[in-house]
A and B are shown apart, each in its own frame.
Chain A
Amino acid sequence: MISVRRVTKEYPNGVVALQNVDLEIGKGEFVFLVGPSGAGKTTLLRLLFREEVPTSGSVMVNGHDVGRMRPRQIPYLRRQIGVVFQDFRLLPQRNVHENIAFALRVIEAHPREIKRRVSQVLELVGLSDRGHALPAQLSGGEQQRVALARAMVGRPVMLLADEPTGNLDPHNAEDMMRIMLEINRLGTTVVMATHAAHLVDRARQRVVAMEGGMIHRDELAASYHVEVNR
């Protein structure tokens, strides 16, 4: 599903965000990207949905060489990938239903299909009764669930989440985690960058730990920190 080979990313200002990174993620996996701020987690995610291109090395996503993709092919890559950010990124003047439908309207889905899928995905995130609310009328947890619904409404094969629980209280964060694990159980590959150690520890999924632009640990069914007596 994802194959990152010897990828280095240097920004124009000279900052080297990733150094010679290798990472393979299979279909249907759930992977936590952990590590301190500036470790390169966000850059790695941005390379996967072609928000950035690698300085060297190759990034393959679902069979496409993302770094060498022509600009006109990018939209079609992104339709296979759902993305969730820490800051939700909802449209404030549109209600929940419209925010989610927006993602389908811009890829020219049929209105009947939009209606059907929006209500399915609202059910998945537990917001079936909030369709007409504006983002400002929702709690942070609810807003993030709307963002998650928007990411999933196009039925992507892969979900990328950058600190999705960073702005949420523990209760909402756990809710969010539960939904993401459910999405993964239904077959979607999930890559989640996070600082939330307790969520990682409880989920017992694959953990890729980064620091200084390099991967220094990659373990299955692992916890946030290195387990000394394992």
Chain B
Amino acid sequence: MRLRTWAFCLNEANQNLLRNPVLAIASVTTTAISLLVLGVFLLLTVNVNAIATSVESQVAVRAFFAKNVPQSQETAELQTVRSWSQVRTATLVTKAQALAELKKEFGDQAKVLDSLGTANPLEDSLSVTAQKPQDVKVLATRLSHLDGVVHTTYQSAVVSRLFALINDIRVVGLAIGVLLLIGSLLVITNAIRLGMAARRREIAIMRLVGATESLVHWPFILEGLILGGIGAIVASGLAYWSYVAAYHNAVRSLPFLPLVAPSPVARDIALLLLVLGILLGAVGFRISVRRLARV
């Protein structure tokens, strides 16, 4: 199509929107809200993921030796473990050190341990941290196969609970987002259909005088793209700027939280919302187009 024909189509689309401003505003608002909710949940997921990853990487695997294993063997095993590619740090914790740690952890209640007298029921152990969080399980298995190791532990409960939480957030967010997207799709479709009904005469005349079907369609495609696009711009702008603001606040007040910096992720999510919004408009037109054939 020629440039002036695009201008013609854009003008027709605009007139449709102006003829029905309430519906246009409703379409833009629902699109913006649904995309915003989707964006918020995406950002939440990304962050909880990051927190979980950082927690998991700090989890140490402990491999406990049997009581009769000589110190020389334990040191040798320590050297072996340090040579593994998955290992970040590995240290030997003697039972004396372990008892001291335990006393420190007990703090005020350390007196309880006095009843043990000189006996130390604890065992020597290797404390190993992984290079990558996903290596933790593998490390635990490898350590359990070492000579003299009776059992291994790591704080799997914390990690698995965190991952369960991430999954819940992801599922709930997606479900709400998808439902809202369907809602806004219906509103956009309705806006386009009303436009078609209002322009029935014009469409009939366009066909009568030999307008191609694409020229008949384009004003409505543009209408969908404008509605979805404006909603998406609002949503992605809000998502982006509020994330940047929230991030800077959180970094100041909760510095220990390993939050994801906004620069790549918020921009990517804003772009994703923009694409989704435009897609909504296009799909809204696709749904309505069969109505157009009957006009």
Contact = CB atoms under 8 A, between A and B. Distances in A.
B215 interface: yes
Contacts of A75: 207, 210-213
Contacts, number: 51
Q: Is chain B's binding surface mostly helix, strand, loop or mixed?
A: helix
A16 interface: no
Given A108-B1, A108-B5, A102 B210 contact: no
7 contacts: A75-B210, A89-B201, A89-B205, A91-B205, A102-B209, A105-B5, A107-B211
Interface string A117-159: 0000000000000000000000000000000001000100000
Contacts of A154: 209-210
Interface string A40-82: 0000000001000000000000000000000110011111000
A106 interface: yes
A83 interface: yes
A76 B215 CA distance: 13
Interface string A216-228: 0000000000000
A38 interface: no
Contacts of B211: 75, 106-107
B8 interface: yes
A130 B213 CA distance: 32
Interface in A92-109: 102-103, 105-108
B203 to A, nearest CB: 10
A187 interface: no
Contacts of B4: 108, 111
B3 to A, nearest CB: 10
A49 B207 CA distance: 11
Nearest to A89: B205
B210 A89 contact: no
B205 A102 contact: yes
